Structure 1
Amino acid sequence: MSEQLYLMAHFELNTPDEFAPTFAEHAKASRAKPGCLFFYLIRDRDNSAKFATMECWEDYSYFEQHVADDEHTTFHAKIKQVWKGEPNVMECDLVMGME
């Protein structure tokens, strides 16, 4: 059995209000992809330029398909132009869920 992949990524954007709809579209598209168990997009209440994604994939192969497809490639090219810096990405292990 393959191990699920949990990821958290923190982004700070130069034009957050302009880019937020594009980011939301990417989150919706990601949730519809095979192997995506969840994909959350959250925004900092105190600093609207800061976003984070929390996502889970059935296994690493589904995540690799996600980042290799045309939708993600197009999104990545757009978001890279508005990053304040490289995002902080963390692969995670689930310690406790919503029991």
Structure 2
Amino acid sequence: MFVRIVKMGFEPGKIEEFLNNFEEVKSRIRNFEGCEFLELYRDKDNTNRFFTYSYWKDEQALENYRKSDLFKTVWADTKILFNEKPEAWSVDKLVSLE
């Protein structure tokens, strides 16, 4: 399993649209084959900045999602709302304490 973190900055007037879009698709993303966990975070200081945090079974599962019609639609609806270039990281989880 590995973790995907995506940082996105939005135009202030577009945040509500982003949140509404995310609400509509979050279950479909989470239930996409290979997605094991999905959360959305909002920066406390820069409230225009959001992060998605997701666990994927393996890199191929994420690639399958990124090539899917679902991702293409979600990304097309999301990227037009940005006010900064998004950044993404794929990382391996090494330790988790609960």
* TM-score, reference length from structure 1: 0.86
Residue ranges of structure 2 left out of the alignment (5+ in a row)? none
What SS is found at the alignment partner of 1:34?
Answer: coil
Residue ranges of structure 1 left out of the alignment (5+ in a row)? none
Matched, 1:7 2:15: no
Structure 1 position 88, deviation (Å): 1.2
- 1:86 aligns with 85
1:42-76 per-residue CA deviation (whole Å, 9 max, x = no partner) reads 11233321110111110111111111111110111
Question: Is the 8 Å Cα contact of residues 39 and 54 (structure 2) preserved in structure 1?
Answer: yes
Identity %: 26
Question: Is the 8 Å Cα contact of residues 2 and 93 (structure 2) preserved in structure 1?
Answer: no
What SS is found at the alignment partner of 2:94?
Answer: coil
The amino acid of 2:32's aligned partner reads: K
Matched, 1:60 2:72: no
- 1:44 aligns with 43
* TM-score, reference length from structure 2: 0.86
What SS is found at the alignment partner of 1:83?
Answer: coil
Q: Root-mean-square deviation (CA), in Å?
A: 1.4
- 1:98 aligns with 97
- 2:25 aligns with 26
Question: Is the 8 Å Cα contact of residues 11 and 50 (structure 1) preserved in structure 2?
Answer: yes
Structure 1 position 28, deviation (Å): 2.1
Structure 1 position 93, deviation (Å): 1.8
What SS is found at the alignment partner of 1:20?
Answer: helix
Question: Is the 8 Å Cα contact of residues 9 and 84 (structure 2) preserved in structure 1?
Answer: yes
